[in-house]
C-alpha cells in the first residue's frame, strides 16, 4: 500500500510540474483523500478518524517524496526532481520555506517551488547551501577513505 501511495504522490507531483504549480504536501494530501473518499463514511463517527489519519499519512508521505526528489545529492536519475531542458542539474522545483497564511500568523511550511517562481534571495540561499554541501561532502568522502585505509591497516 505504501508503494502505491508513493506512486500516486509521484503522479500528483508530475502533474503539478507539468502545470508549473508548487508541490504543497497539504494540498496533495487533500487531493489524495478526495480521490479515495469513502462516501459511506461521510457523516459517521469514523469519518473524522479516517480523514485525520489519512491526511496525516498522505501529507507525511508527500513530504518524504518531495524531500527525496529535491535532494541534490541523489545519484539515481529516477530519484531526482525533473531537470530543466538544457541543464544537467538545474531542477524544476526546489524546497523552500514559505508562509502558509500570507505571513499573518507566522505559519511556515516547506514546499517544492517551481524554479521560475523562486525569488532571487531564495536562489542565493539554495546556491549557498549547495556550495557548502559540496565542500562537506568532499570532506566526508575523504574521511570515509581515510577510515577504510586505517581499518585495513589495523586488520593486518
Number of separate domains in the chain: 1
**Predicted confidence band at 23 (pLDDT cuts at 50, 70, 90)?**
very high
pLDDT of 110 reads 87
Chain mean pLDDT for the chain: 87
In a domain, 105, yes or no: no
In a domain, 116, yes or no: no
Q: Is the pLDDT assigned to residue 136 strictly greater than 70?
A: yes
- Domain span at 66: 2-91
Q: What is the pLDDT of residues 37-92, one digit of tens each?
A: 877 877 887 888 888 888 999 999 999 999 888 887 766 666 667 888 999 889 98
In a domain, 70, yes or no: yes
In a domain, 47, yes or no: yes
pLDDT of 152 reads 79
Average pLDDT over residues 91-99: 88
In a domain, 154, yes or no: no
pLDDT of 74 reads 66
In a domain, 118, yes or no: no
pLDDT of 45 reads 79
Question: What DSSP letter does each residue of the chain carry, written as one string?
Answer: -HHHHHHHHHHHHHHHHHTT--B-HHHHHHHHHHHT--GGGTTSHHHHHHHHHHHHHHHHHHHHHHHHHT-TT--SGGGS--B-TT-SS-BSEEEEEEESSTTSS--EEEEEEEGGGS-HHHHHHHHHHHHHHHHHHHHHHHHHHHHHHHHHHHH-
**Predicted confidence band at 103 (pLDDT cuts at 50, 70, 90)?**
low
In a domain, 101, yes or no: no
In a domain, 98, yes or no: no
Amino acid at each position: 500500500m505504501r508503494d502505491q501511495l508513493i506512486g500516486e504522490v509521484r503522479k500528483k507531483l508530475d502533474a503539478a510540474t507539468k502545470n508549473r504549480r508548487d508541490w504543497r504536501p497539504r494540498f496533495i494530501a487533500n487531493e489524495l483523500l478526495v480521490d479515495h473518499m469513502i462516501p459511506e463514511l461521510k457523516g459517521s463517527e469514523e469519518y473524522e478518524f479516517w480523514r485525520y489519519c489519512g491526511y496525516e499519512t498522505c501529507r507525511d508521505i508527500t513530504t518524504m517524496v518531495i524531500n527525496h526528489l529535491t535532494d541534490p545529492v541523489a545519484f539515481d536519475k529516477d530519484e531526482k526532481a525533473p531537470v530543466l531542458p538544457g541543464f544537467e542539474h538545474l531542477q524544476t522545483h526546489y524546497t523552500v520555506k514559505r508562509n502558509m497564511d500570507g505571513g499573518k500568523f507566522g505559519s511556515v511550511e516547506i514546499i517544492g517551488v517551481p524554479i521560475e517562481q523562486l525569488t532571487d534571495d531564495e536562489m542565493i540561499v539554495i546556491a549557498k547551501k549547495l556550495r557548502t554541501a559540496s565542500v562537506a561532502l568532499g570532506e566526508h568522502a575523504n574521511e570515509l577513505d581515510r577510515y577504510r585505509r586505517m581499518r585495513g591497516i589495523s586488520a593486518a
